């Protein structure tokens, strides 16, 4: 058969992607329930922003008292990122939905929520997707130092030479 090839760079990017799900992605201010217009924001009442991880944002879309409640677009982008991060353990192509989910989270949350700033989790997510996608062009790890690298070895995390 051949020697095993393991794309360690892709695995590192996938692990970073999974861990960044629990870090702060955005500092969000929620207007109190019953406020008809989100443009009032924090001018009338001093409301401190709270740090939202991607998991917090997913939970907020299910909470009826949240401004993010029922936002299908936000749910889709969150699940796209999470699915891409999980798929990155099998193929570097998982970086594509990872990157699309992170960028979609950024644009959707800017439009629908009052976001003060984006946290380290968002930046780490972009770096994670970049590492995973880079591992297609420059796969690094066990077995990649022997001979030419075919397309199959570039597109799968675990292969045989």
Per-residue pLDDT tens digits for 71-103: 888 889 999 999 999 999 999 999 999 999 999
User: How many other C-beta atoms lie within 10 A of the C-beta of residue 87?
Assistant: 20
Three-state SS at 35: coil
Torsions phi, psi for 116 (to 5 deg): -80, -40
pTM recorded for the entire structure: 0.83
**Percent of the chain with pLDDT strictly greater than 90:** 37
Q: Find the mean pLDDT for residues 95-115.
A: 87
Query: In the chain, what are the domain boundaries?
Result: 4-29+48-160
- Asked whether the beta carbons of 22 and 53 are under 8 A apart, the reply is yes
End-to-end CA distance of the chain: 8
The stretch 108-133 carries a mean pLDDT of 86
């Amino acid at each position: 058969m051949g020697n095993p090839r393991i794309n360690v760079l892709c695995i590192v990017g996938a692990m970073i992607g999974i861990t960044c799900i629990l870090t702060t992605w955005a500092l969000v201010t929620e207007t109190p329930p019953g406020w008809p217009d989100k443009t009032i924001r924090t001018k009338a009442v001093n409301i401190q922003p709270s740090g939202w991880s991607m998991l917090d944002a997913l939970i907020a879309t299910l909470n009826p008292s949240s401004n993010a409640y029922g936002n299908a677009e936000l749910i889709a982008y969150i699940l796209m990122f999470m699915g891409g991060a999980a798929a990155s353990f099998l193929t570097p192509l998982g970086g594509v939905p990872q990157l699309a989910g992170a960028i979609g989270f950024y644009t959707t949350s800017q439009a629908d929520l009052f976001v003060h700033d984006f946290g380290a989790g968002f930046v780490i997510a972009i770096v994670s997707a970049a590492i995973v996608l880079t591992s297609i062009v420059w796969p690094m790890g066990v077995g990649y130092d022997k001979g030419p690298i075919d397309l199959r070895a570039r597109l799968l995390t675990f292969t045989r030479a």
